[in-house]
């Protein structure tokens, strides 16, 4: 597209794409695919890069622009390698293949996309054939894929293999005239896809194409399939690319945590100030039922750890009354971590809400039916993801869910408890306001910290912290669940979990320290802490315990690194303030050293228990 900028102006691309309708994205993708990622990185070194190796069965050239534009919509730069035609078995089976060599050189999230279509089965059917012939071919193919996935898991350290379910074309089912045979084919095909879906594990992600097909995406064009060997349509590949981009966004640490809703014509029908509490449309009538459907979906998301808030241009009293008393409401005041009803600009309310929650605004998703409000938020807070709702409430759910903003690789118990724990922060803020000094508040808060090797059930949560924590994340090295498990099993390393509680309740697992022993040197490979709890002394107490452990275990020194990002500048001085000397520093970050000659100062208001699981590391 002529109005999209060159490589030097890459930071503006995300905002421009947000304004484009879906039917303009293919053209934008073709333009962006012509940009050299090296040129973008030369102009903007901090741009998050995702490496994708595309292999599979058939012609897949349409995936390059589709993946490029879908990742760019999330601010991610795609480095795409397109494999030779139909090389997927060789690529995945040979540990010395270009696939593994390419992924091994990746600096950042890396994916192998093995894109498969129904032709991998249809091409191997005998003539004539019956349903049991297809079942045998399906069984052999799934066994092969399972074996290849095992090879990938053992070879591609830290990368993710993306597979997909196989669409069942009517062209195959219609060839069987016996309806029982046709039903047997359908059953065998679905059983094969179920086996694929069960492969979804830390090293493997499976994109289920059935929901995309159910939305009307065409799976196959006979002419493209026969003449160009493109066995999946461009439209289906574009939808697949969107799902792959969601995976890439998670791996790059760009997950969203907060859903902020407008209220009038978003959560309920009508303008509250004009129609009054009795006149809002919800639960009854065709529009009211549409708004109730939307509320149910929001509540479902909230039950899985999404923080739900509201920002509305209304007087606070009537809003509170509707949320508390209206008999048709599904969402109630207790479902929101905050409701901001006032007449101030919404972007100001969003910024203050981010400060209250101690989160970056780039972890927010904002949904509003007003083009004016959406445009203003996009301009003033470009990191906020904006959901374009229209005046048709029946389409609200699809608009909210289309980008999988809150998807996570694994939902943890910490996710489920998150909304309740953020609501507890209101009680802590009220408690703080009763003190004249922060020291007095911290002393009475009664913070307890437990530092210990992460249990197997906690490793997914540790991975999630590396993927989602941006502010107190000293290196921002993103680790998949498989990488965390490998690290936990390394005898020279230690994955330590940080849990905390105070007088208001449990915070749960709020941080992690990753250690490695290298002779007489103990290295802090990363230190992470949830934004919910830092600046309360927990980080200093934990680091003090690590230094004391190093001294007692006869380490000569402790080394630690800081890698600068756009979001972790707040902790740039963390190690020097703890007595570390700078070994070297540049624009990218710094390395520090502590000689262990001076014991760390205790943090008087923290009660800490530390278990390092033995003397080493």
Q: Is the pLDDT of residue 121 over 60?
A: yes
Instruction: Give percent above pLDDT 90 in the chain.
Output: 61
Q: Is the pLDDT of residue 129 over 90?
A: yes
Q: What CA–CA distance (Å, rounded) separates 323 from 341? A: 12
When mean pLDDT is compared across 99-108, 530-539, 563-572, the lowest value belongs to 530-539
Q: What CA–CA distance (Å, rounded) separates 422 from 424? A: 5
More confident residue, 503 or 3: 503
Among 346, 376, 401, which residue terminates a domain? 401
* pLDDT mean over 563-577: 87
- Whether residue 172 lies inside any domain: the answer is yes
Q: What CA–CA distance (Å, rounded) separates 329 from 327? A: 6
- Whether residue 471 lies inside any domain: the answer is yes
More confident residue, 533 or 265: 265
Residues 350 and 489 in one domain: no
- Whether residue 599 lies inside any domain: the answer is yes
Q: Tokens representing 222?
A: 């006979």
Contacts 24+ apart (CB under 8 A), 219-223: 219/167, 219/169, 220/117, 220/118, 220/167, 220/169, 220/171, 222/171
The sign of the torsion formed by the CA atoms of 182, 186, 191, 192 equals positive
* pLDDT mean over 318-329: 92
What range does the domain containing 265 cover?
A: 258-401
Q: Is the pLDDT of residue 426 over 80?
A: no
- Whether residue 410 lies inside any domain: the answer is no
Nearest partner of 507 among 527, 528, 532, 529, judged by Cα? 532
Residues 574 and 515 in one domain: yes
When mean pLDDT is compared across 29-43, 192-206, 355-369, 501-515, the lowest value belongs to 501-515
Q: Is the pLDDT of residue 599 over 80?
A: no
Residue-wise DSSP of 234-260: HHHHHHHHHHHHHHHHHHTT----EEE
pLDDT of residue 5: 63
Task: Please provide residue 311's backbone torsions phi and psi, each rounded to the nearest 5 degrees.
Answer: -130, 115
Mark out the alpha helices in 23-125 (DSSP H runs): 25-32, 37-43, 63-72, 88-93, 98-104, 119-122
pLDDT band for position 45 (cuts 50, 70, 90): confident
Residues 519 and 376 in one domain: no
Residues 467 and 520 in one domain: yes
User: What SS3 class is residue 429?
Assistant: helix
Q: How many domains is the chain built from?
A: 3
pLDDT of residue 1: 46
Residues 347 and 443 in one domain: no
- Whether residue 452 lies inside any domain: the answer is yes
Residues 126 and 203 in one domain: yes
Residues 501 and 601 in one domain: yes
Q: Is the pLDDT of residue 2 over 60?
A: no
Among 351, 370, 401, which residue terminates a domain? 401
* pLDDT mean over 95-108: 91
Residue-wise DSSP of 479-499: --HHHHHHHHT-TTEEEEEEE
- What CATH number did the domain enclosing 236 receive? 3.40.50.1110
* pTM of the shown model: 0.80
- Whether residue 406 lies inside any domain: the answer is no
* pLDDT mean over 86-108: 92
- Whether residue 560 lies inside any domain: the answer is yes
Q: What CA–CA distance (Å, rounded) separates 495 from 307? A: 28
pLDDT of residue 441: 67
Among 229, 251, 273, which residue terminates a domain? 251
pLDDT of residue 483: 87
Residues 236 and 262 in one domain: no
Q: Contact 112/103 with Cβ under 8 angstroms?
A: yes
pLDDT of residue 357: 86
The DSSP call for residue 172 is H
Q: Is the pLDDT of residue 515 over 90?
A: yes
> What's the chain's average pLDDT?
90
Instruction: Give percent above pLDDT 70 in the chain.
Output: 96
Residues 392 and 483 in one domain: no
Residues 493 and 421 in one domain: yes
Q: Is the pLDDT of residue 11 over 70?
A: yes
More confident residue, 401 or 601: 401
- Whether residue 2 lies inside any domain: the answer is no
pLDDT band for position 606 (cuts 50, 70, 90): confident
Q: What is the pLDDT of residues 220-271, one digit of tens each?
A: 999 998 999 999 999 999 999 999 999 999 888 888 999 999 999 999 999 9
Q: Contact 40/10 with Cβ under 8 angstroms?
A: yes
Residues 390 and 425 in one domain: no
Residues 396 and 448 in one domain: no
pLDDT band for position 428 (cuts 50, 70, 90): low
Helix or strand (DSSP H, E) at 562: strand 557-563
Q: Tokens representing 500?
A: 């905390």
When mean pLDDT is compared across 131-140, 240-249, 328-337, 608-617, the lowest value belongs to 608-617
Q: What is the pLDDT of residues 401-422, one digit of tens each?
A: 999 999 988 888 877 877 877 7
């Amino acid at each position: 597209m002529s109005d999209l900028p060159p490589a030097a102006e890459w930071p503006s691309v995300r905002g421009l794409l947000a304004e484009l309708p879906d039917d303009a994205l293919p053209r934008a993708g073709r333009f962006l695919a012509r940009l050299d990622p090296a040129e973008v990185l030369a102009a903007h070194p901090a741009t998050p890069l995702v490496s994708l190796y595309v292999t599979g069965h058939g012609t897949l050239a349409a995936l390059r622009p589709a993946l490029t534009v879908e990742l760019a919509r999330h601010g991610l730069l795609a480095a795409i390698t397109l494999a030779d035609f139909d090389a997927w078995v060789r690529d995945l089976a040979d540990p010395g293949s270009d696939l593994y060599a390419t992924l091994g050189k990746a600096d950042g999230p890396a994916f192998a996309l093995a894109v498969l279509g129904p032709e991998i089965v249809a091409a191997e059917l005998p003539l004539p054939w019956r349903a049991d012939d297809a079942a045998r071919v399906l069984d052999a193919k799934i066994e092969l894929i399972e074996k290849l996935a095992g090879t990938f898991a053992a070879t591609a350290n830290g990368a993710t293999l993306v597979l997909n379910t196989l669409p069942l074309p009517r062209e195959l089912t219609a060839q069987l005239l016996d309806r029982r045979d046709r039903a047997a084919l359908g059953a065998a095909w679905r059983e094969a896809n179920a086996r694929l879906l069960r492969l979804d594990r830390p090293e493997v992600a499976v994109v289920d194409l059935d929901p995309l097909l159910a939305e009307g995406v065409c799976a196959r064009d006979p002419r493209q399939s026969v003449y160009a060997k493109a066995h999946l349509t461009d439209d289906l590949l574009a939808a697949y690319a969107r799902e792959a981009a969601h995976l890439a966004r998670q791996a790059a640490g760009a997950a969203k945590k907060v859903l902020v809703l407008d209220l009038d014509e978003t959560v309920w029908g009508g303008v509250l100030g004009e129609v009054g509490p009795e006149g809002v449309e919800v639960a009854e009538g065709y529009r009211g039922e549409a708004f109730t459907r939307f509320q149910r979906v929001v509540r479902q998301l909230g039950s899985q750890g999404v923080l739900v808030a509201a920002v509305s241009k209304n007087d606070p009293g009537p809003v509170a009354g509707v949320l508390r008393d209206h008999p048709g409401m599904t969402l109630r005041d207790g479902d929101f971590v905050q409701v901001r009803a006032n007449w101030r600009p919404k972007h100001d309310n969003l910024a203050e809400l981010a400060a209250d929650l101690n989160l970056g605004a780039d972890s927010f998703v904002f949904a509003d039916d007003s083009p004016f409000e959406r445009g203003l938020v996009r301009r003033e807070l470009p990191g906020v993801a904006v959901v374009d709702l229209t005046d048709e409430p029946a389409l609200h759910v699809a608009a909210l869910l289309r980008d999988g903003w809150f998807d996570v690789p694994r939902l943890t118990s910490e996710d489920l408890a998150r909304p309740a724990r953020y609501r507890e922060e209101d009680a802590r803020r009220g408690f703080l306001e009763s003190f004249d000094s922060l020291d007095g508040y911290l002393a009475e808060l009664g913070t307890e910290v437990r530092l210990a090797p992460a249990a197997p059930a906690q490793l997914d949560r540790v991975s999630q912290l590396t993927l989602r924590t941006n502010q107190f994340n000293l290196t921002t090295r993103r680790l998949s669940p498989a990488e965390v498990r490998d690290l936990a099993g390394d005898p020279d390393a230690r994955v330590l979990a940080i849990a905390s509680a105070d007088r208001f309740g449990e915070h749960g697992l709020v941080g992690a320290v990753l250690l490695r022993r290298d002779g007489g040197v103990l290295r802090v490979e990363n230190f992470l802490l949830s934004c919910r709890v830092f600046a309360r002394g927990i980080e200093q107490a934990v680091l003090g315990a690590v230094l004391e452990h190093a001294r007692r275990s006869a380490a000569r020194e402790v080394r630690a690194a800081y890698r600068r990002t756009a979001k972790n500048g707040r902790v740039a001085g963390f190690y020097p303030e703890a007595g570390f000397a700078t070994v070297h520093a540049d624009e990218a970050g710094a390395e520090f050293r502590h000689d262990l000659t001076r014991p760390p100062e205790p943090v008087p208001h923290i009660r800490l228990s530390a278990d390092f699981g033995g003397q080493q590391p």
